[in-house]
Amino acid sequence: MIEFHLDAHSGVAPYLQLIHQVRQALRLDLLSEGDQLPTVKDVVGRLAINPNTVLKAYRELEYEGLVAARPGLGTFVTGTLGDSSPAAIAPLRRELQRWLAKARRTGLDDESIEALMLTTFRSATEGEENIA
């Protein structure tokens, strides 16, 4: 069984952090199909957070098809994150390296590059969320 942790000062909403940690665990093979997620009471008893936060995270994961709640038994992993095969990643990585070289040639330093990447990524994700 995995254990959650919470970064109270990261600015990321707690339920999103929980979702992220489940997805990480799936990616790193710490969770497989059929494993049980910690009960709401366990999570809340460890992290001292609102139970509705945990419920929201688990509902979201269920909506994404990654887990399923079985009444009286708990919440269990049902799906996998199958969309990250090495073959799909390699061309993306090459494209990113080309873009980085281009950014360096225009004179941007490391910090500016990082800031540009982060703000673009954030506004893009928010845009996706608003549409979704």
Instruction: Name the residue nearer to other proteins (CB basis): 30 or 55.
Output: 55
At residue 82's C-alpha, the angle toward residues 80 and 88, to 5°, is 160
**φ, ψ at 76 (rounded to 5°):** -125, 150
Confirm or reject binding of residue 131 to other proteins (CB under 8 A).
no
Instruction: Name the residue nearer to other proteins (CB basis): 40 or 108.
Output: 40
Confirm or reject binding of residue 51 to other proteins (CB under 8 A).
yes
Neighbouring C-beta atoms of residue 74, cutoff 10 Å: 15
- What H or E segment, with its residue span, contains residue 22? helix 14-27
Residues 7-46 that bind other proteins (CB under 8 A): 8, 11, 13-14, 40-41, 44-46
User: Which spans of this chain sit near other proteins (rule: CB under 8 A)?
Assistant: 6, 8, 11, 13-14, 40-41, 44-53
